[in-house]
Amino acid sequence: MKRTLLAITLANMPVLAFAQASGTPAPASVSAPQSAQAATPPAAPRKPFPHISLRSDDGTSSLDIGGALRTNYRDEDWDSENSGRFLFDTFRVDLRARHQDFFAEANYWFQDDGKRSIDRAFVGYDLSEQSNIQLGAPFKPFGLEPYPQFGWSYHIPFFLGYGVSAGAGIKYNYKDADWDLQAGYFPRMLPSSMRYSPEVGRYKDLDENAVPAVHGGQDNEKRDQVNLRLARTFAGEGWKTEIGGSLAGARLYNATTRDDGDYWAAGLHAVVNSGPWTLATQGIRYAFDPKNPDGIADNQVLMGGNGLTPAFMIAAKGTVASLNIAYDIATPGLGMLKQIKLYNDYSRFFKDESGWADSQMYTAGIQFLALPIIGWLDLTWAKNANPFGGAENGTGWTSTTSSGSNDWYYRTNLNIGYYF
């Protein structure tokens, strides 16, 4: 209980000294965490080649096809075949379409190692100027949106399923100057082969990226998930703050026992802006209660995506907190370079299981905004977080009993993208 209270306190400390950032904003796909728009935003300024933009004469119909091409360089202080090389990162295709009150969005990713994923894909209808519904695979509303950090390197909330996470279902949005309400129902999660972000998965669906001896008995998946997110915006002279809460619940179906366990999560978040400063913070408490067959431990569940990151176990119950701070510097005299963002991202994962050490990640970085070029330079330290440390830290999210347990690992990561 003390660890849970510590996490929530860390994630929601008083932040009213910060407010709305000035300078040229980044594109929505790489912006600071913010509320989702209830309605499709107006057409953006003309974008570079090979962006396609079509508009009807009366302005009621439009089609935009854009995307991004990115390369990545990393240097890791553990044995890694990808360290010290520039490699292809991703080619992303973004589609936005509208006809009168109907609209559609889809982001399709061609990723490293031949992987493919969808971070969202839905059709929608505007019920009013403030509200709409989305059907297909919209984001599941929860916490900081859409990203749980400022840097390129994802942090612990993402790996627990709380960032850029879509589900197959329906979503309602309402947003005005003060309130942002989102509610979603997701009968099923996206297939593992299409997931951009990790989600609970069965070993049968993740076997190409899982370890049979460790993951073989895991046979759980979420069904009938319900999400609710409510946020309130406060603004004053030179500052703006969003404070909100989120809830989620689902059946946790086990295909071996054919029995239903359950899952729930609750979170508080805040996004605060003041001049060039932005602060984004959240605390999330979650619990899985799986109905596993005899011999399969109930204190952990299997997570996985499309295989870009191997499948991994997380604690069935825990609390995660994050605190992210950024500072924007306008650079009007530096040609294409219009803005630099300095950021610090910190996240910590407190596990309920006695003797399971905390997981931590810290990133200090800088973002370069020189549209259509955007770059990130991340310096990241991580402990008991298994994307860091390779095989030596393979149990980082759970018991942390591998040879890399409680060791800090370091990575330098440079990502450069062309956005069109």
Token reading at 131? 């509200």
Closest CA to 160 of 320, 382, 396: 320
The H or E element that residue 159 is part of is helix 156-159
Partners of 132 in beta bridges = 126, 173
Token reading at 63? 């089609």
Q: Compute φ and ψ for 408, nearest 5 degrees.
A: -85, 130
In percent, how much of the chain has pLDDT > 70? 89
Contacts for 333 with CB less than 8 Å, ≥ 6 apart: none
Q: b/e string for 191-204 if b means 16 or more Cβ within 10 A? A: ebebbbbbbbbbbe
> How far apart (Å, rounded) are the C-alpha atoms in residues 350 and 358?
5
Q: Give pLDDT, residue 5.
A: 43
Q: Is the pTM of this model over 0.85?
A: yes
Query: Using CB atoms within 10 A of its CB, is residue 84 exposed (0-12), middle (13-18) or buried (19+)?
Result: exposed
User: Residues 296-347: pLDDT tens digits?
Assistant: 999 999 999 999 999 999 999 999 999 999 999 999 999 999 999 999 999 9
Strands 179-189 and 167-175: antiparallel
Q: Give pLDDT, residue 80.
A: 81
- Are 360 and 385 within 8 A, CB to CB? yes
Query: Using CB atoms within 10 A of its CB, is residue 407 exposed (0-12), middle (13-18) or buried (19+)?
Result: middle
> How far apart (Å, rounded) are the C-alpha atoms in residues 252 and 235?
40
Other C-beta atoms lying within 10 Å of the C-beta of residue 152:
24
User: Residues 335-382: pLDDT tens digits?
Assistant: 999 999 999 999 999 999 999 999 999 999 999 999 999 999 999 999
Query: Dihedral, CA atoms, 233, 236, 237, 239, nearest 10 degrees?
Result: -40
Residue reference for tokens 């953006």? 44
Cα–Cα distance list, 362 to 149, 255, 359, 381 (Å) = 11, 37, 11, 5
- Are 265 and 142 within 8 A, CB to CB? yes
Q: Give pLDDT, residue 160.
A: 97
Mean pLDDT in consecutive groups of 10 residues from the start of the chain, 420 residues: 45 37 33 36 70 96 98 92 89 98 98 96 98 98 97 97 97 98 98 97 95 94 98 96 98 98 98 98 98 96 95 97 98 96 98 95 98 98 90 80 88 98
Partners of 236 in beta bridges = 239
